[in-house]
Structure 1
Amino acid sequence: MPTIIEQLAEFAADTEIRNLPDEVVSESQRILLDSLGCAVASLDDEGAQRGVGYGRYLGGAEGPASILGTGTTTSVPGAAFANAELINALDQDAVLPPGHVTPYVLPGALATAESSRGSGEKLLTAIAVAHEMSFRIGKATDYLRDIKDGVVTIPDVIGYSSTLFGAAAAIGVVKGFSQETLADALGIMGSTVPTNTQRAWMMHAPSTTIKYQLAGGMALSAVTAANLAELGHTGDREMLDDRDYGFPCFIGTSRWEPAPITAGLGRDWTFTPFQSFKPYPHCRVMHALFDALTEIVETHDIRPDEIDAIDAWGESFVLQPVWVNENIRNPRDAQFGMTHGLAMAAHRIPPGKDWQTPEAVIDPSVLELTKKATFREHPDYTAALRGNPAARRSRVEVQARGTTFTGERAYPKGSPSPDPATFMTDDELIAKFRHNVEDVLTDADADAVIEAVFDLRNVEDVTEFTKRLRPVLPS
């Protein structure tokens, strides 16, 4: 029997654009457009700039791959590192179980496609393969939200390192690796994958400015694994089969259920019903509350100084230090501060990069309203989650003008759900992209990128649109 890694390698090698279902093509294009916008929006973020600086340190000031939105080029490893940091910097990038996937799996494939002047068809196939593979392997391990004895619990060890098999495979797809070389790349990836350190980050607040796991480092490790395989290194193909000494053992997962990794692989595409997009540059756990709160303050034209209290009920698993922290020092703290996020939403700042400017984050009015906000567990949250993994039962009450205004949501905007209104349409994603790139790209360049991404299978050279991601307007 072929090993799991060998089956994944066969899947990646055999996947062709003509065999991709329409919804997989569409979602892969949407992921790319959203990611490009998120990267450009992050250019002024201090954390992102550190990633850009280190990317240039890795690859120099000239090379075959671009650092998105900067107009400069560097090496493939340097661009992969910098772009991963840019995409994830404001925390408004696409989400897919096991959590964040795109900032780790896209940058290496995009930089590789640029360096070889690869086709949009190759890049599109790579994006699809990476997300499908990452979703499947993520399902085999612990979830961020596990229900045990009727209570939502967090595993002791969690993180996003499982995504890197998909990241390495995506690079191999772009380069046209054989099945054998792909298997070696995945085996090397398994041997060199970073440890899952996210639980420590969650439990220590105020948190570090490196959130989750270092996005740039994750993307760089995939570039390393793929290119070492191309150079002739061999990988451990038993890495995903060996429960005692392989990936399930050393990655720290308490659950390993590998059957979903290969069930219907190559025939059934499973990631698209779970792919979500984020309207707000803030941890996803608060988005349903932001939707309800924004509707209240806009419908009733409530000013921040009129609000006496904001009481919110939502996800139970985030009653952890990084989320309950109210010592907001920088945009990274603000991306996870629950009461701070409620205060931001109440100020009606348009969702996007404006939320994460230092001026907005430490605005005295925002900080004052943070003190008037509370967050608690919604009593129906666990039951709703058990019924649908996308469910985020949320309730918010705003006390203002002597009246209590109430709003509720079952699902956040951007997530596929039984409510069609929560789906983020192409037009809405395009609007988000335009807002993220305004004051950096011209309208003509933004139009060209949008057109190319939605016609990606017919783009002969991906540099046709990446070269349009250049800073031609003053920031």
Structure 2
Amino acid sequence: MADSLIQQLGTFASNVRFDHLPTAVVEECKRLLLDSIGCAVAAIEQPKGRIGIDYARMMGGNGDATVIGTDERTSIFGAAFANGELINALDMDAVVPPGHVTPYVLPGALAVGEARCVTGKALVEAIAVSHEMSYRLGKAMDYLRDTKDGKVSPPPVYGYSSTVFGATAAIVKLKALPATVVANALGIAGSISPVNSQVAWFQHAPSSTIKYLLAGALTQSAMTAAHMAELGHRGDLQILDDREFGFPRFIGTRRWEPECITAELGEAWRFITEQAYKPYPHCRILHALLDALIEIVESNDIEPHEIESIKAWVEGFVEQPVWLNRDIGHVHDAQFSIAHGLALGAHRVPPGKAWQDPELVFGASVMRLMDRVTHEVHPDYVELLTSHAASRPANIEVRARGRTFAGERRYPKGSPSPEPSSYMSNDELVGKFRRNTEDVLSSARIDDIIERVFSLEKLENVATLLSLLRPGKNGALTRVSA
């Protein structure tokens, strides 16, 4: 009898070895790690980040794992919860189909890896497995940017619940459990995954601050699945094969293409082909527009008060309340509103956590300019999207000084695409990391972290890396000077 999909994924996770990973995969895992821990450090004073930290404290524990950017040490469960929330708080973390993956799959691996004092090579294996598994499941299911008959066709039910498999795989991988236990853990994970509530979140504005899926909650599902299997629970090994009653049905996907999961599994690494990074702390739908807008205002030295109007042509699926929202009552709302995002971008503030400083978000200049922002759906959106997955076509017109300044982009900065300039280089990721951490960590500490991440295969104990992300003593938000 052929192995089930769960068993095949379990075997895949168990068999991955660092020495067999392509160089490109290893390097992408390092990039993901650096970007993610930088996003976490940047968020320690953000409302969502602070709540995650406070909840981790409530969970208590034996101090086995670090809450990134703080001197807090909690249980692996508390650290995983907080770090998931921190990575995702600014909405500046990396994206790959099905969407945000890293804040769900990395935190458990970091916490367990630190507690078990695993090597850097072992952490790379876990990051690679979790992202490849999440990507393959994402490609097998409905996608936000699906099209049908030449029109956008967003699914009625959607979310990132399928990342629970990759998150669980990373944890059991680092625990070095047998393939049979790994499979049981994945079977349990499928049975206890959070619901896909993201479409409801799109429709209800101002939006819930849990976003598309509370990162901390999914890390706990993955932790539970991994530990229950280790303790002897049996998982549902058929949960991905059963189209009528299993995971595809109850998680709500219309499309189920399991060949996307298994084709060349363990031989071809596919997540790296679409792994993208976010220069701006804003929903990815606005990034190409921001690239074009910022070029216009900087190259022409246009001040916000000079702008008479901004008109944008956007992706077709964003005509939903979370993006149309102009009721900015929480800094979180600034991460998604089309009008507010473009108004803020025109202020030429370097992208980073400053974009969610309340003085800027609610400032009179930004709020006034937001009233002068309009948008339409890009007329060629579907055609360009179907010709290349990285396409996010964007046109923008800025009216100022009695003139119209126009710009356009097809691919946003940070995405691998046919345009080499859209790729975010290591130097650019390092620059983003420095900006995200410079007022929390010393310059020497930042240099040390960067060096260790990019030579992760030489690290004998990942706990030494995590220790560098604890900036002070006796206070979660203690800062150090350069």
Q: Quick check: TM above 0.5?
A: yes
CA separation in 2, counterparts of 1:409 and 1:59? Answer: 48
Q: Following superposition of structure 1 onto structure 2, how do residues 40-439 of structure 1 map, counting pairs within 5 Å?
A: 40-60=41-61, 62-439=62-439
Superposed displacement of residue 31, structure 1: 0.2
Q: 2:87·2:103 contact (CA, 8 Å) conserved in 1?
A: yes
Q: Give 1:446's aligned residue.
A: 446
CA separation in 2, counterparts of 1:214 and 1:59? Answer: 20
Amino acid at match of 2:193: V
Superposed displacement of residue 189, structure 1: 0.2
Q: Give 1:466's aligned residue.
A: 466
Superposed displacement of residue 117, structure 1: 1.1
Q: 1:159·1:196 contact (CA, 8 Å) conserved in 2?
A: yes
> Secondary structure of 2:374's partner?
strand
CA separation in 2, counterparts of 1:281 and 1:177? Answer: 37
Amino acid at match of 1:2: D
Listed one character per residue, the Cα deviations across residues 364-389 of structure 1 (whole Å, up to 9, x for unaligned) are: 10010000011210101110000011
Amino acid at match of 2:396: V
Amino acid at match of 1:356: Q
Amino acid at match of 2:55: Y
Amino acid at match of 1:255: R
Cα RMSD between the aligned structures?
Answer: 0.9
Superposed displacement of residue 55, structure 1: 1.4
Q: Give 2:33's aligned residue.
A: 32
Q: 2:442·2:480 contact (CA, 8 Å) conserved in 1?
A: no
Amino acid at match of 1:423: Y
Q: 1:240·1:247 contact (CA, 8 Å) conserved in 2?
A: yes
> Secondary structure of 2:108's partner?
helix
Amino acid at match of 1:387: S
Classify 1:408/1:326 alpha carbon distance in 2 versus 1 (closer, same or farther; 3 Å). same
Q: 2:441·2:480 contact (CA, 8 Å) conserved in 1?
A: no
> Secondary structure of 1:240's partner?
coil
Superposed displacement of residue 474, structure 1: 5.5
Aligned residues: 474
Amino acid at match of 2:38: G
CA separation in 1, counterparts of 2:417 and 2:336? Answer: 24
Superposed displacement of residue 286, structure 1: 0.3
CA separation in 1, counterparts of 2:294 and 2:16? Answer: 43
CA separation in 1, counterparts of 2:49 and 2:465? Answer: 22
Superposed displacement of residue 329, structure 1: 1.0
> Secondary structure of 2:316's partner?
coil
Superposed displacement of residue 93, structure 1: 0.1
CA separation in 2, counterparts of 1:311 and 1:375? Answer: 5
CA separation in 2, counterparts of 1:305 and 1:158? Answer: 40
Superposed displacement of residue 69, structure 1: 0.4
Listed one character per residue, the Cα deviations across residues 409-460 of structure 1 (whole Å, up to 9, x for unaligned) are: 0100000000000000000000000000011000111111111111111101
Superposed displacement of residue 214, structure 1: 0.8
CA separation in 1, counterparts of 2:224 and 2:339? Answer: 40
CA separation in 2, counterparts of 1:209 and 1:175? Answer: 33
Amino acid at match of 1:52: I
Superposed displacement of residue 57, structure 1: 1.0
CA separation in 1, counterparts of 2:451 and 2:231? Answer: 36
Q: Give the TM-score taking structure 1 as reference length.
A: 0.99
Gaps of 5+ in 1: none
Amino acid at match of 2:108: G
Listed one character per residue, the Cα deviations across residues 381-408 of structure 1 (whole Å, up to 9, x for unaligned) are: 1100000111011000000000000000
Superposed displacement of residue 470, structure 1: 2.1
Superposed displacement of residue 351, structure 1: 0.4
Amino acid at match of 2:159: G
CA separation in 1, counterparts of 2:456 and 2:375? Answer: 43
Q: 1:440·1:470 contact (CA, 8 Å) conserved in 2?
A: no
Amino acid at match of 1:364: A
Listed one character per residue, the Cα deviations across residues 104-134 of structure 1 (whole Å, up to 9, x for unaligned) are: 0000000000111111111110000000000
Q: 1:59·1:79 contact (CA, 8 Å) conserved in 2?
A: no
